[in-house]
Amino acid sequence: MHRFHCTFAMAVTAATMIALAAPAAAEEVVVKHQIEKDVPRVEVRYGDLNLDSEAGRDRLTNRLDSAVRKVCGSADFRDLPAFGGMMTCRDESTERAYAARDELFARQMAARERGESLALAGNGGGTLAVLAQR
pLDDT digits (tens, 9 = 90+) for 8-65: 444 444 444 444 433 333 334 444 434 556 778 899 999 899 888 899 999 999 999 9
74 contact partners, CB below 8 Å, separation of at least 6: 13, 16, 86
Distance separating alpha carbons of residues 60 and 42, to the nearest angstrom: 14
Single pTM value for the model: 0.66
pLDDT digits (tens, 9 = 90+) for 78-90: 999 999 999 999 9
pLDDT number for residue 85: 94
Whether residue 96 contacts residue 131, with contact meaning beta carbons closer than 8 Å, is answered with yes
Look at the chain and report how many structural domains it folds into: 1
> What is the extent of the structural domain holding 32?
2-131
What are the C-alpha distances in Å from 125 to residues 53, 58, 68, 96, 121? 19, 20, 20, 19, 11
